[in-house]
Chains A and B, each alone.
Chain A
Amino acid sequence: MTCEEAEVLIHALIDGELDAGHAREVEAHVEGCAHCAALMKEYQEIRQAIAESDVRYKAPLELRRKIEKALPQPQAAPSRRSVLRGFAMGSAVSAMAATGLVAIVLRNDDEQRIENEVVSAHLRSLQAGHLIDVVSTDQHTVKPWFNGKLDVSPPVIDLTAQGFTLIGGRLDYVNAREIGAVVYKRRQHVINLFVAQTANTERKAAQTSTLQGFNIRRWSDRGLNYWAVSDLGADELTEFGDKFEATMRANKEG
């Protein structure tokens, strides 16, 4: 094999695209040719350097919003509604029981989907440079920043004294809507606290679940749904949720 041939084929070798026979031929050439061996090493180094550097871009939120807007909005799938109608054909009692049952099934399904999206949003935020739109450890800077950007005003509270440092805020996209994310840190762990409006003003106690290795603590209070997502252990995330709720109560009473 000549150097000219090898200089093309080493790339396919690096990429694992050569069949065994050709791979052996190229390897044999590279072993006996200092020039091609050095070249191949450099190409591998460049490849490694690119793989390890931040060369990707994140789609702007506005683009995500525009695409979402152009698609038909999600609704409960018709198949589920026909299940509901099917049940309703029975007696009034069983229909009511069935409605309750189906409502639970639907809600769980919906919650599952939203939890998935919340974890995806958390993952997106961890890509370099995408975590925070407004950088500040001051709640009086972060809170006004959300004004006019969302239909809700997410509570932004300082939990530094409780061991969770406020580092900023961000707009994100969950369940086909813009959503506020308040970002905290404990040691090297990021906590995204997603806040969205809900029609239901009833308080719902916190639940912790795990998805794709992340812990999620979700609760509802005074017309807002909260999801705290982090790679922190469940115990520490629970502590975060408890302290957040306790501080909210204290603020309200105080």
Chain B
Amino acid sequence: MVVNASQDDPEKARRFREAALPYLDDAYTLARYLLRDAADAEDAVQECYLRAYKHFDSYRGPAMKPWLFAILRNVCRAEYARRKTAPTAVEELPEGREQTPMWNEAPETPEKQLLRRFDGDTVRKLVAALAEPFRETFVLREIQNLSYREIADVAAVPVGTVMSRLARARAMLRSAWLAEQEQVK
């Protein structure tokens, strides 16, 4: 993995380092949740930074973090596609499921008692268990703190879709949270 000679501009590299490397942990975190595999996440982030560096000349904004995430997401989509043809493809929701109204999801009446707190590992597990594309939307919002507009740009969907996906993601996470709580009682 070596950047070709025409890209070999130390000043550009310095600007890129300063602008993009502070988000390395953020990018890696997103890749971990999207791909649910440490080695694949590492490869994806590396590829993302190489592509970002290549296109850095034409970068004029938006903010660096969503710009990197949009590139990273494309890299991860390619990885999904590769897995689909592999025998151990991850499950994807069939088209249309996204439209299922969420009030079919968790009809139980919310309880009065406070929700139980879980340790980091358990929370990571619950988030990682969310189905795509809800997991992606959820992680961009709750862990990466992107606005709806930024999420819409990263995921290339309308803002309304971001809102409905996020509502579904939170409803699913709430059900999983309550189920986990039931289990450890």
> By the criterion CB–CB under 8 Å, are B9 and A72 in contact?
yes
Which residues of the partner chain B approach A199 to less than 8 Å between Cβ atoms? none
Which residues of the partner chain A approach B10 to less than 8 Å between Cβ atoms? 72-75, 77-78
Which residues of the partner chain B approach A4 to less than 8 Å between Cβ atoms? 101, 103
Residue of A nearest to B41 (CB): A57
What is the minimal beta-carbon distance from A143 to any residue of chain B, in angstroms? 29
Chain B 1-34, CB within 8 Å of chain A: the 1/0 string? 1110001111111101100011011111100100
> By the criterion CB–CB under 8 Å, are A55 and B124 in contact?
yes
> By the criterion CB–CB under 8 Å, are A53 and B3 in contact?
no
> By the criterion CB–CB under 8 Å, are A58 and B28 in contact?
yes
Which residues of the partner chain B approach A49 to less than 8 Å between Cβ atoms? 115, 117-118, 123
> By the criterion CB–CB under 8 Å, are A70 and B1 in contact?
yes
Residues of B within 8 A of A (CB): 1-3, 7-14, 16-17, 21-22, 24-29, 32, 41-42, 45-46, 49-50, 53, 101-103, 109-112, 114-115, 117-120, 123-124, 127, 141-143, 147-148, 163-164, 166-167, 170-171, 173-174, 177
Query: How many pairs of A and B residues are in contact by the CB < 8 Å rule?
Result: 134
Residues of A within 8 A of B (CB): 3-4, 7-8, 11-12, 15, 17, 35, 38-39, 41-43, 45-47, 49-51, 53-60, 62-64, 66-67, 69-75, 77-78, 120, 124, 127-128
> By the criterion CB–CB under 8 Å, are A66 and B148 in contact?
no
Q: Please judge, given known A-B contacts A72-B8, A72-B9, whether A124 and B25 are in contact too, CB under 8 Å.
A: yes
What is the minimal beta-carbon distance from A131 to any residue of chain B, in angstroms? 15
Q: Which of A8, A50, A53, A78 contacts B164 (CB 8 A)?
A: A8
> By the criterion CB–CB under 8 Å, are B53 and A71 in contact?
yes
> By the criterion CB–CB under 8 Å, are B120 and A54 in contact?
yes
- The B contact surface, by secondary structure, is helix
Q: What are 27 A-to-B residue pairs whose CB atoms are below 8 Å?
A: A7-B103, A7-B167, A8-B163, A8-B164, A17-B148, A35-B110, A45-B115, A49-B117, A50-B142, A53-B119, A53-B120, A57-B32, A59-B25, A59-B45, A63-B45, A66-B46, A67-B24, A67-B46, A67-B49, A70-B2, A70-B53, A71-B53, A72-B7, A72-B13, A74-B14, A78-B11, A127-B25
Q: Select the residue from B24, B109, B111, B164 with max chain A CB neighbours within 10 A.
A: B24
Which residues of the partner chain B approach A59 to less than 8 Å between Cβ atoms? 24-25, 27-28, 45
> By the criterion CB–CB under 8 Å, are B120 and A55 in contact?
yes
A69–B21 Cα distance when bound, in Å, is 13
What is the minimal beta-carbon distance from A34 to any residue of chain B, in angstroms? 9
A73–B8 Cα distance when bound, in Å, is 9
> By the criterion CB–CB under 8 Å, are A72 and B3 in contact?
yes
Q: Please judge, given known A-B contacts A50-B143, A55-B127, A128-B120, whether A71 and B3 are in contact too, CB under 8 Å.
A: yes
